[in-house]
Amino acid sequence: MKSPLVRITFFLAVAAAVTLFIRLLPTEEDRIRVVLLKAQRAVSSEGRPNTPIDALARAGEIAGCITRDVVIQVDVFGLGSGTIQGADEVRAAAASLPQQFPGLKVQIDEIKVVIDGPDAAHGSFVASTALPGGRKGEGGAQEFNVRFRKFEGRWYMSRIETVRTLQQR
């Protein structure tokens, strides 16, 4: 029969391994943050080739982050507003970004995520944009609200909308 010391050591080793395994598993919030960072990388064209093939590849990357029925509403004071509905419209808009804004750099910060249930979440983030050479009047930061849905074990953005800010004086 094994001594009590061996049993205790074995139990402690198993408990430590289980604790380490649980801590290393990403949380749902971590998985959602990865979706946002993938979208950031896909939208940014800084340091990437500006070819039609690359633009289509990035549009495909963005499509992997959104639901088929996604709605994106943008309303920025002084710059206008618009709505894009559906993954096809988003892909088309994303494919044209590199030609419209070559060298665009997008940075997502201040990510907040709240899990609403097993397959729903919402949150917010701030997206900052910059163009090479700091072109005047272009770039800046905007806060967004976002809704997520989980499908087949993966999180996707289902709604993205700007947070209206007060008029600047």
* pLDDT tens by residue, 21-38: 666 677 899 999 999 999
Question: Considering its fold, how many domains does the chain have in total?
Answer: 1
The structure's pTM equals 0.76
CB burial of residue 36 (10 Å; 0-12, 13-18, 19+)? buried
The predicted-structure confidence for 68-125, as pLDDT tens digits, reads as follows 999 999 887 666 788 989 999 988 888 887 777 777 888 888 999 999 999 999 999 9
Q: Which pLDDT belongs to residue 169?
A: 46
Whether 11 maps to a domain, the answer reads no
Q: How far is CA 88 from the centre of its chain?
A: 18
Give the structural domain span for 104.
27-162
Confidence of residue 10 (pLDDT cuts 50, 70, 90): confident
Whether 90 maps to a domain, the answer reads yes
Q: Calculate what percentage of the chain has a pLDDT beyond 90.
A: 34
Q: Which pLDDT belongs to residue 101?
A: 78
CB burial of residue 39 (10 Å; 0-12, 13-18, 19+)? buried
Domain CATH code at residue 69: 3.10.450.50
Whether 95 maps to a domain, the answer reads yes
